Chain A
């Protein structure tokens, strides 16, 4: 059983071997593996005592030991969780709970530890779910990506085969929101190897807190989004990140010039660019950068590299045939890391997955081509999706909620654009005379998480049209320059 081997057994070994060493550093406090294990045991008793049997539990996410312990408690009880963020609009949380049909929610569970340390686990099948992550859906309803125990175990196997090594002496940074799957990589690689996880508390400006962790706590390993480094770039001359032995850049396209500048601070660091959609469990390809050497890039963006050990990748044309040479096409991935599908969403499952020569592939929606070296070059999205602070956003979902606000009487277009700092922002164009945007913004805030709220709202009395009489998105985008 791979999940047991890579996750449960490994974490229990960390607890047994390193009980008095630190497992977490959360908001200025260290917690040992023994304290972590006690919280896991206490929460397992709460799960066992639940009146209503449910396989999938809601988990209200906080930056605290109980939240991390709850994840392990649920897994050790053979259950899965669906993350619910306290900052999300209530309507979104209710919609997710209703879709999944879960009524049990662990929320800052502070049940008393009874002295009964539970170090075994309930047997579960590899195809049982581990978690469901809800991402933006173009129809306005969030869609749930199901990840199984097999998916997570295959990911861990792939990860260790990249050659990144974590030891009990490592200090690993976890900067990502727990609704975002890179967080799973960030805590799992540390906890399964006896290392310490350093988190970023809520209510902090993430990039600054991360920089302070690196500089003041001597972080040795961490995954970050390139935009965090973009924010820090004006301070690179003063930034000493020499404690880092390895650093993963992920969640967004990775600019080559930013990486070259980052090498100046991260003097002893191996830098990796990891790519992957949630549907293929955290990452599915990676590229290891060379300090001072030639790094493969396209339009200033670093190659996403080669598939991980448990991932098969193909690039296809519109008609499903394989591309030839350096022809661009859609990247599709297969293997044990690929999700069994979206939660109760037959239509989306039929369009997002296909079988070719007996192998089931996922359409990533990313436009790519094969470099002659066997690396994959990333060239942008095929559809209307954007990455904001690492979160995947369907522009269609923003448009849906804006149209609903105007009772479908106005046309709206959401456009992702790069600002002067080269960071992605969302602009919303409304076909109308200019007016106060406050009621619209309030409506959007009641429907969507903060990162989906457009940072610019622009009014145009009449939208420009292209030759095929559709709204000319490119002409609107020009107005943002």
Chain B
């Protein structure tokens, strides 16, 4: 799956979970700069990614998912 396809599929999920209809995904987005990126929202985000892309993250992988860029890269790896 191409990065652009991933971003296209991920954007509506992120917009719904982080409650921002005009959110444009950038690699540096994180809990540091998105106010609605709370523990609860992040957990929901991960669950939704797993459901929509059809794979399951490993816990060790989650430790490195600190930014949107990390998340996109991880999805790319799973979907390769």
Chain A positions within 8 Å of B, measured between CB atoms, are 202-209, 211-212, 215-216, 227-228, 231-232, 234-235, 238-239, 389, 421, 423, 425, 441, 445, 450-451, 455
- 8 A Cβ contacts from B1-56 to A: 19, 30-32, 35, 37-40, 42-43, 47
A239/B59 in contact, CB under 8 A: yes
Option from A203, A450, A455 in Cβ contact (under 8 Å) with B32: A203
Report the tally of A-B residue pairs with Cβ distances under 8 A: 49
A250 to B74, CA, bound (A): 34
A-B contact pairs, 8 of them (CB 8 A): A204-B66, A205-B31, A208-B42, A211-B63, A228-B39, A234-B47, A441-B19, A450-B38
Give the residues in chain A near B40, CB-CB below 8 Å. Answer: 231, 423, 425, 455
A425 to B41, CA, bound (A): 11
Judge if B60 is at the interface, Cβ distance under 8 Å: yes
Does more than half of chain A's interface fall in helix, strand or loop, or is it mixed?
A: helix
Closest residue of chain B to A424 (Cβ to Cβ) is: B40
Judge if B79 is at the interface, Cβ distance under 8 Å: no
Give the residues in chain B near A209, CB-CB below 8 Å. Answer: 63
User: Within the complex, what minimum Cβ distance (angstroms) separates B31 from chain A?
Assistant: 5
Give the residues in chain A near B35, CB-CB below 8 Å. Answer: 445, 450
Give the residues in chain B near A204, CB-CB below 8 Å. Answer: 31, 66
A205/B59 in contact, CB under 8 A: no
A389/B39 in contact, CB under 8 A: yes
B62/A235 in contact, CB under 8 A: yes
A421/B30 in contact, CB under 8 A: no
A231/B32 in contact, CB under 8 A: no
Give the residues in chain B near A423, CB-CB below 8 Å. Answer: 40
Other A-B pairs beyond A205-B39, A207-B43, A215-B60, 5, CB < 8 Å: A205-B37, A211-B62, A231-B43, A238-B58, A441-B19
User: Within the complex, what minimum Cβ distance (angstroms) separates B67 from chain A?
Assistant: 10
Closest 4 CB pairs of A and B: A203-B32, A235-B59, A212-B63, A238-B59
Give the residues in chain A near B32, CB-CB below 8 Å. Answer: 202-203
Interface centre among A216, A234, A389, A451 (most CB of B within 10 A): A234
A389 to B41, CA, bound (A): 13
Option from A203, A207, A238 in Cβ contact (under 8 Å) with B30: A203
Closest residue of chain B to A451 (Cβ to Cβ) is: B38
A206 to B66, CA, bound (A): 11
Closest residue of chain A to B63 (Cβ to Cβ) is: A212
Give the residues in chain B near A232, CB-CB below 8 Å. Answer: 59
User: Within the complex, what minimum Cβ distance (angstroms) separates B44 from chain A?
Assistant: 9
A315 to B26, CA, bound (A): 54
B43/A206 in contact, CB under 8 A: no
Interface centre among B19, B32, B39 (most CB of A within 10 A): B39
A445 to B35, CA, bound (A): 10
User: Within the complex, what minimum Cβ distance (angstroms) separates A231 from chain B?
Assistant: 5
User: Within the complex, what minimum Cβ distance (angstroms) separates A199 from chain B?
Assistant: 16
Closest residue of chain A to B45 (Cβ to Cβ) is: A205
A421/B43 in contact, CB under 8 A: yes
A206 to B39, CA, bound (A): 7
Give the residues in chain A near B38, CB-CB below 8 Å. Answer: 450-451
Closest residue of chain B to A213 (Cβ to Cβ) is: B63
A208/B63 in contact, CB under 8 A: yes
Give the residues in chain B near A215, CB-CB below 8 Å. Answer: 60
Give the residues in chain A near B19, CB-CB below 8 Å. Answer: 441
- Known A205-B31, A450-B38; contact A238-B43, beta-carbon cutoff 8 A: no
Closest residue of chain A to B57 (Cβ to Cβ) is: A235
Closest residue of chain A to B44 (Cβ to Cβ) is: A421
Give the residues in chain B near A425, CB-CB below 8 Å. Answer: 40
User: Within the complex, what minimum Cβ distance (angstroms) separates A86 from chain B?
Assistant: 12
Give the residues in chain A near B66, CB-CB below 8 Å. Answer: 204-205
User: Within the complex, what minimum Cβ distance (angstroms) separates A428 from chain B?
Assistant: 14
Give the residues in chain B near A231, CB-CB below 8 Å. Answer: 39-40, 43
A215 to B39, CA, bound (A): 19
User: Within the complex, what minimum Cβ distance (angstroms) separates B41 from chain A?
Assistant: 8
